[in-house]
């Protein structure tokens, strides 16, 4: 492998690895950022949900307080004009007040008192203003001011009996999570609140689940800590990130595929160059031999001392070698012309048996020279017609017969059989010689492919069988190879023309 190819391969590998590594690094940090955002948003949502639940309970406590103030059997509300205040002063006390317990007095100048009397309208206005300006402020600060003993005790008792409503909190929390586009299953957990210390860290969740911080709920003892537990949020976060992850996986896949395809193309081109070099070497050998023979024979013909009989023999040698040289050139040109495309042909009804006989006639001088034995088998009805280009299909049969003669043990023994079925004919040509290993049965039909010389010593171009396979495919047929311990059989199947 050349240094340039090695350098390009190393640089491509480094660039592809860097790109894939950056994508993985970015995805990892994107997931961590998404998980941090999830933790922050789930905590903020729970804090807001607990706050809303507390506010709802404040409204309910205020409404209850207002009902207690309106209960005349529980609380007495009085009205008296105070000259030093230049206005009216309201006072509240328990109907069954303890001895020595003074009433709670407050001035409310914003309340109109027509005729200086505590009418029902004035009473309702006082209760509404008192609840709004005093009770709500106390509830906001989680305090209970004893304006009267009975009101203070009732509110303190309500505080003690209050428990967090998990059903209501679940709905509030789910609504808050939806604001952050979080639709994850969760479980709310309630525990008594225990103060640890101001510097205490939050609960650490494990890798498979997440638990939020605890948020306090309660207006008086007992106070509760509310938290949310999310089982396996990682899978849900991956689902939330599926768009980004799919895009990243697609980019990584495209990068790896392009890298693999480029490497394959580079090595294929390098292999093709080597095969073409072998082709040139083989062509040089194959063409030089007949040319040298022709040159020697021509010199002998020109020699005045050559007898007429010898001159006739030399002329025959020249014609034979010229024919062989022409046949070699035709095969090479035919294969090169049809490289990478189907061999153009014109299909006409042709007797396949005629093409077989013509192929045998063309090779008859060589068959005689090699003392080859050819056994042929034809169907009873040899009127087998195929839609074919006679020249191309005859050349394909010539190639197979030429290979059978070339790669057979000496003297060659070849069997040619033709059988027919309802729709297909099957042409089989078998020689006796070195069996082709199974791992080469498909590759032998590739252009420029040659079986390693250690197993097949005969030189060739690796073009003949690829041409045969192309012609058979153009005729909508198939070709395959079967090998036994003593020889090889090429099988062609073609559709019969009706």
SS3 for the chain, per residue? CCHHHHHHHHHHHHHHHHHHHHHHHHHHHHHHHHHHHHHHHHHHHHHHHHHHHHHHHHHHHHHHHHHHHHCCCCEEEEEEEEHHHCEEEEEEEECCCCCCCCCEEEECCCCCCHHHCCCHHHHHHHHHHHHHHHHHHHHHCCCCCCCCHHHHHHHHHHHHHCCCCHHHHHHHHHHHHHHCCCCCCCEEEEEECCCCCCCCCCCCCCCCEEECCCEEECCCCCCEEEEEEEECHHHHHHHHCHHHHHHHHHHHHHHHHHHHHHHHHHHHHHHHHHHHHHHHHHHHHHHHHHHHHHHHHHHHHHCCCCCHHHHHHHHHHHHHHHHHHHHHHHHHHHHHHCCCCCCCCCCEEEEHHHHHHHHHHHCHHHHHHHCCEEEEECCCCCCCEEEECHHHHHHHHHHHHHHHHHCCCCCCEEEEEEEECCCEEEEEEEEECCCCCHHHCCHHHCCCCCCCCCCCCCCCCCCHHHHHHHHHHHCCCEEEEEEECCEEEEEEEEECCC
pLDDT score of 340: 47
What are the sequence ranges of the domains in the chain? 242-335, 338-495
**CA angle at 334 for the pair 411 and 495, rounded to the nearest 5°:** 75
Q: Report the alpha-carbon distance of residue 142 to residue 144 in Å, rounded.
A: 7
For the beta carbon of residue 281, count every other beta carbon within 10 angstroms: 11
pLDDT score of 144: 92
Contacts of 334 (CB under 8 A, 6+ apart): 343, 395, 467
Q: Report the alpha-carbon distance of residue 95 to residue 93 in Å, rounded.
A: 6
CATH of 242-335, one of 1.10.287, 2.40.50, 1.10.1240, 3.30.1490: 1.10.287
pLDDT score of 295: 77
The pTM of this model reads 0.51
pLDDT score of 205: 57
Per-block average pLDDT, block size 10, for the chain (498 residues)?
72 79 78 83 94 95 95 93 85 87 90 90 94 93 92 94 94 94 90 70 63 91 92 71 75 82 78 66 58 74 82 77 68 54 70 91 82 89 87 88 87 92 92 88 82 57 81 92 89 91
Tokens for 450? Answer: 């040659």
pLDDT score of 239: 65
- The topology under which CATH files domain 338-495 is Heat Shock Protein 90 (3.30.565)
Q: Please, which residues bridge with residue 425 across strands?
A: 420, 494
pLDDT score of 363: 82
CA dihedral (428, 431, 435, 441) positive or negative: negative
Mean pLDDT of the chain: 83
pLDDT score of 15: 81
Using an 8 Å Cβ cutoff, are 415 and 375 in contact? yes
Using an 8 Å Cβ cutoff, are 286 and 459 in contact? yes
Which region, left, alpha or beta, applies to residue 478 given φ > 0 means left and ψ of -120 to 50 means alpha? Answer: beta
**CA angle at 72 for the pair 68 and 76, rounded to the nearest 5°:** 95
């Amino acid at each position: 492998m050349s240094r340039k190819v090695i350098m390009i391969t190393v640089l491509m590998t480094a660039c592809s690895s860097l790109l894939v590594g950056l994508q993985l690094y970015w995805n990892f940090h994107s997931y961590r950022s998404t998980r941090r955002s999830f933790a922050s948003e789930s905590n903020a949502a729970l804090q807001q949900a607990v706050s809303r639940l507390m506010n709802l309970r404040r409204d309910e406590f205020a409404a209850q307080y207002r009902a207690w103030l309106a209960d005349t059997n529980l609380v007495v509300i009085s009205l008296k004009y105070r000259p030093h205040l230049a206005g009216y002063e309201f006072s509240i006390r328990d109907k069954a007040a303890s001895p020595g317990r003074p009433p709670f007095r407050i001035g409310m100048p914003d309340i109109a008192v027509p005729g200086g009397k505590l009418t029902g309208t004035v009473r309702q206005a006082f209760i509404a203003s008192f609840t709004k300006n005093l009770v709500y402020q106390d509830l906001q600060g989680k305090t209970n001011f004893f304006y009267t003993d009975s009101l203070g005790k009732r509110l303190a008792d309500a505080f003690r009996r209050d428990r967090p409503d998990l059903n209501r909190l679940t709905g509030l929390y789910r609504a808050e999570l939806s604001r952050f586009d979080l639709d994850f299953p969760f479980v709310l957990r309630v525990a008594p609140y225990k103060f640890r210390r101001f510097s205490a860290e939050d609960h650490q969740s494990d890798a498979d689940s997440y638990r939020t911080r605890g948020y306090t709920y309660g207006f008086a003892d007992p106070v509760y800590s509310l938290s949310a537990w999310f089982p396996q949020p990682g899978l849900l976060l991956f689902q939330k990130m599926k768009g980004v992850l799919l895009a990243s996986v697609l980019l990584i896949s495209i990068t790896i595929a392009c890298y693999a395809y480029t490497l394959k193309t580079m090595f294929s081109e390098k292999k093709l160059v080597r095969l073409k070099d072998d082709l040139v070497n083989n062509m040089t050998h194959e063409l030089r031999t007949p040319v040298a023979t022709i040159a020697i024979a021509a010199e002998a013909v020109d020699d005045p001392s050559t007898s007429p009989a010898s001159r006739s023999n030399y002329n025959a040698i020249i014609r034979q070698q010229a024919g062989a040289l022409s046949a070699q050139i035709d095969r090479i040109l035919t294969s090169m012309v049809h490289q990478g495309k189907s061999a153009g042909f014109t299909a006409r009804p042709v007797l396949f048996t005629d093409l077989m006989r013509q192929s045998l006639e063309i090779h008859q001088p060589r068959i005689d020279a090699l003392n080859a034995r050819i056994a042929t088998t034809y169907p009873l009805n040899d009127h087998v017609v195929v839609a074919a280009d006679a020249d191309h299909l005859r050349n394909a049969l010539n190639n197979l017969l030429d290979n059978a003669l070339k790669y057979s043990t000496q003297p060659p023994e070849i069997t040619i059989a033709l059988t027919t079925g309802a729709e297909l004919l099957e042409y089989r040509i078998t020689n006796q010689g070195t069996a082709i290993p199974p791992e080469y049965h498909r590759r032998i039909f590739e252009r420029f492919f040659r079986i390693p010389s250690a197993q097949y010593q005969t030189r060739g171009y690796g073009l003949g069988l690829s041409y045969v396979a192309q012609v058979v495919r153009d005729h909508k047929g198939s070709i395959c190879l079967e090998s036994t311990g003593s020889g090889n059989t090429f099988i062609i199947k073609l559709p019969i023309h009706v």
